[in-house]
Chains A and B, each alone.
Chain A
Amino acid sequence: MTLGNQKKIERVFFQNLVIRQIRQDYLENLTGFAWLILQPLIFLAVYAFVFSTIFKARMPQDVDIGFVPYLAIAFWPWTAFSEAVLRASNSITSSGSLIGKIAFAAEQIPLATVTATFIMHMIGYLTVLIVLQLMGTSIHWFHLSLVVPLMLLMWLFACGIALFTSATQVFVRDLAQIMPPLMTLWFFTTPILYAASYLPESVQAIARWNPMAWFIARLRELLLFGEINFGGIALAMALIIVVFAWLSLRFFRRFSGHFEDFL
Chain B
Amino acid sequence: MDSLVRMEGVSKIYPRVHKPRERLQAFGSLLLGRKPAHGAKVLSDIHLDVVRGQSLGIIGENGAGKSTLLKVLTGVIQPTHGRVMVHANIAAMLELGAGFQPDFSGMENVRMKASLMGLSNKELDARLDEILDFADIGEYIHEPVKHYSSGMVVRLGFAVITACRPDLLITDEVLAVGDESFQKKCIRWIEQFLKNGGTLLLVSHSMYVVQKLCQKALWIHDGKVAEFGDVFPVTQAYLAWHEKRQAKEKEQRVRATGEGSYYRIEQFQLLEQQGDETPSFAMGDSLDIELQIYSPDDRPPVGVVGIVRADGTPVYGVVSDNENIQPVKLADNQYRFRLRFTDIRLLPGSYNLSGHSMDPEGVRVFDMQQIAFTITGSTQEVGFIKLPHQWLD
Residues of A within 8 A of B (CB): 1, 5, 8-9, 12-13, 15-16, 20, 24, 97-98, 100-104, 168, 171-174, 254-255, 257-258, 260-262
Q: Give the chain A neighbours of B15 by CB distance below 8 A.
A: 258, 261-262
Q: Are A8 and B76 in contact (CB under 8 A)?
A: no
Q: Give the chain B neighbours of A8 by CB distance below 8 A.
A: 118, 120
Q: Which chain B residue has the least Cβ–Cβ distance from A98?
A: B99
B206 at the interface (CB under 8 A from A): no
> B residues 81-109 with Cβ under 8 Å of A?
87-90, 92, 94-95, 98-104, 108
30 A-B interface contacts by CB (under 8 A):
A5-B89, A5-B118, A9-B116, A12-B118, A12-B120, A12-B121, A13-B112, A13-B115, A16-B115, A97-B101, A97-B102, A100-B71, A101-B99, A102-B98, A102-B99, A104-B116, A171-B27, A173-B23, A254-B31, A254-B33, A255-B30, A257-B77, A257-B78, A258-B36, A260-B76, A261-B15, A261-B17, A262-B17, A262-B23, A262-B26
B14 at the interface (CB under 8 A from A): yes
From B24, B30, B76, B87, contact of A172 by CB (8 A): B24
* Separation of A173 and B21 alpha carbons in the complex (Å): 11
Q: Are B88 and A1 in contact (CB under 8 A)?
A: yes
Q: Are B118 and A172 in contact (CB under 8 A)?
A: no
B329 at the interface (CB under 8 A from A): no
From A97, A257, A261, A262, contact of B99 by CB (8 A): A97
Q: Are B27 and A172 in contact (CB under 8 A)?
A: yes
A248 → B minimal CB distance (Å) = 13
Pick the 3 closest A-B CB pairs, nearest first. A257-B78, A171-B27, A103-B75
B111 at the interface (CB under 8 A from A): yes
Residues of B within 8 A of A (CB): 14-15, 17, 20, 23-24, 26-27, 30-31, 33, 36, 71, 74-78, 87-90, 92, 94-95, 98-104, 108, 111-112, 115-121, 167
From B78, B111, B167, contact of A258 by CB (8 A): B78
* Separation of A12 and B120 alpha carbons in the complex (Å): 7
A22 → B minimal CB distance (Å) = 12
B127 → A minimal CB distance (Å) = 14
Q: Which chain A residue has the least Cβ–Cβ distance from B33?
A: A254
B145 → A minimal CB distance (Å) = 11
From A9, A174, A260, contact of B115 by CB (8 A): A9
Q: Give the chain B neighbours of A101 by CB distance below 8 A.
A: 76, 94-95, 98-99
* Separation of A15 and B116 alpha carbons in the complex (Å): 11
Q: Give the chain B neighbours of A24 by CB distance below 8 A.
A: 103
From B30, B74, B92, contact of A254 by CB (8 A): B30
Q: Give the chain A neighbours of B14 by CB distance below 8 A.
A: 261
Q: Are B76 and A20 in contact (CB under 8 A)?
A: no
A79 → B minimal CB distance (Å) = 25
* Separation of A261 and B102 alpha carbons in the complex (Å): 22
Q: Which chain B residue has the least Cβ–Cβ distance from A13?
A: B115
Q: Give the chain B neighbours of A102 by CB distance below 8 A.
A: 76, 92, 98-99, 116
Contact A100/B77 with A12-B120, A255-B30, A258-B30 known, Cβ cut-off 8 Å: yes
Q: Give the chain A neighbours of B75 by CB distance below 8 A.
A: 103
Q: Give the chain A neighbours of B119 by CB distance below 8 A.
A: 12
Q: Give the chain A neighbours of B92 by CB distance below 8 A.
A: 102-103
* Separation of A261 and B87 alpha carbons in the complex (Å): 26
Q: A172-B24, A261-B15 are in contact. List 17 more A-B contacts (CB 8 A).
A: A9-B117, A12-B118, A15-B115, A16-B111, A20-B112, A97-B100, A103-B90, A168-B27, A171-B24, A172-B23, A255-B27, A258-B15, A260-B76, A261-B17, A261-B77, A262-B23, A262-B26
* Separation of A257 and B76 alpha carbons in the complex (Å): 8
Q: Give the chain A neighbours of B36 by CB distance below 8 A.
A: 258, 261
Q: Give the chain B neighbours of A255 by CB distance below 8 A.
A: 27, 30-31
Q: Which chain A residue has the least Cβ–Cβ distance from B117?
A: A9
Q: Give the chain B neighbours of A16 by CB distance below 8 A.
A: 111-112, 115
A245 → B minimal CB distance (Å) = 19
